Amino acid sequence: MLKILDRYIIRKFLSTFFFMLGIIMLLAMVFDLSEKLSELIDNRAPFSAIFLDYYLNFILFYGNMFSSMIIFLSVIWFTAKLAQDTEIIPMWNSGKPFSRFLRPYMIAATILMIISLIMNHFILPKANLVRLDFEEQYYRESMSVSDYFAEYPGNQVIYFSSYYQDENRANDFTLEQWGKDDKLKYFIRCRNAVNISGTYKWRLTDYYERFVGYPNDIVREGNLKDTVFKFHIEEMTPRENIAEAMTYTQLNEFIKREKGKGSGSVPMYEIELYQRTSYPFATYVLTVIGVVVSSRKKRGGIGVNIALGLLIIFIYIFAMKITTVAAMNVGFPPSIAVWIPNIMFAGIAYVLFRFAQK
C-alpha cells in the first residue's frame, strides 16, 4: 500500500524524468536537424517522413539509450531540491530507516526499467528499422566496401575487390568451394556480380567457372550467367548499426551466421545484444547513488550535487567504453563486459548506502 510519502516521491521522480527527457530530446532534435537540414532539402525528404519516420523514432532510440543517465540527473535534481527546501528532514525525523525513504525511488526506477526493457526488446528494433531506412534514402552517403574476404558455412570462401551501393555491384567477385579434405572442389570468378535485390539470385558478367574433378576438370566461360548462392549482398556489406534494427531472435541468428563466416564484427553485435538488458538495470544502481549523494543539504546548493552527478556519469561512461573496447579488441567476453560497469557501480552504491544509514 503506497503512503502519501511514496506517491509524492514517485510523482516527483517521474515528472522530473519526463520533463528532463523532453527538454534534452528537443535540444537533440534541434542540433540534429541543423546538421542534416541541407541534405534533407537536397534529397527532397517529405516533411511528414522527417518527423514521423525519422524524428519520432529518433526520440525513442536516443531517449531510451540515455534514459539511465537522465534518470540519474533527475534523481539528483529533485532530491537535492527537497534537501535544500528542508523537506527531507521531517521524513528522517520520523524515525524510519533510510531504506524506507529509498523505497518509492526504487518503485519508480522499476517502472522506468520495465519500460526500457520492453522498448529494447520489442519496440525499438522496428522503430530503428524505419529510422535507418529513412537515413539510407535521404541522408547517408552511399556505402562502399573494399577487399572483402570471408569464409562462409559449408567451406565456401568469398572475395571481391570492391562494392558500391549505388551500383549494387561487386567487382572481381570470386567464390571457392572447398571439400572436407581441404581440397578445392569448385571455383568461379567474374568481372562483376549483381545480386537481385531481396533474393539469393545473382547475375555474373564475364565469368570463368571450374569444376575440379578426377580425371578431368570441367571449365566453362561466358559473358553472362544467372545463378543462385546461399547468401545475398546485404549479408556481405552490412552497416555497423544494422543490429539496432533486429529483434532478439533475428540478432541471435545474425550473430550465428557472422560467427560462421569468421566476421571480426561479432563482438560488436554481441555487445548490442547484451546491452539491451544490462542498460535498463543500470537504473537501479544510478538511482541509489543519486539518492545517497543528493539527500543531504550541502553548501553551494543544488549546483554541487549536479556537478558531482555529472562526474559520476562521466566515470560510468568511461568504464563502459573501456569494457566495450576490451570486448572488441582484446577478446574479453562481451556478455561479461557489458555488466562490469553495473557491477562496479553496484558496489559503490552499496558502500554509499551503508554510510547513508549511519
pLDDT digits (tens, 9 = 90+) for 202-231: 999 999 999 987 777 888 899 999 999 888
pLDDT at 358 over 70: no
**For the residues 54-77, what does the mean pLDDT come to?**
92
The answer, yes or no, to whether residue 237 has pLDDT greater than 80, is no
Note whether residue 160 is domain-resident. Answer: yes
Could you give the dihedral angle defined by the CA atoms of residues 249, 250, 251 and 254, in that order, rounded to the nearest 10 degrees? Answer: 130
User: Are 192 and 330 in a shared domain?
Assistant: no
Q: Which of 346, 349, 327 is nearest to 338 (CA)?
A: 327
Considering the domain architecture, whether residues 38 and 98 belong to the same structural domain is answered as: yes
Q: How confident is the model at residue 301 (pLDDT cuts 50, 70, 90)?
A: low
Residue 259 resides in a domain = no
- Contact at 8 Å (CB) between 349 and 285? yes
Looking at residue 298, its pLDDT comes to 63
Q: What one-letter code names the amino acid at 321?
A: K
Same domain for 282 and 317, yes or no, is yes
- How crowded is residue 288: how many other Cβ atoms within 10 Å of its Cβ? 23
Q: Check residue 70 and give its pLDDT.
A: 92
Q: How many whole angstroms separate alpha carbon 335 and alpha carbon 253? A: 17
Evaluate whether residue 260 is within a structural domain. Answer: no
Q: Alpha helix locations (H) across the chain? A: 4-42, 47-48, 56-65, 67-84, 88-93, 98-118, 124-138, 233-236, 248-261, 266-294, 302-325, 334-337, 340-357
**Segment 123-176, tens digit of pLDDT:** 999 999 899 889 888 887 667 788 888 888 778 888 999 888 777 889 999 999
Partnered with residue 37 across adjacent β-strands are: none
Range of the domain at 41: 4-139+265-357
Q: Between these two residues, 16 and 138, which has the higher pLDDT value?
A: 16
* Mean pLDDT over the full length of the chain: 86
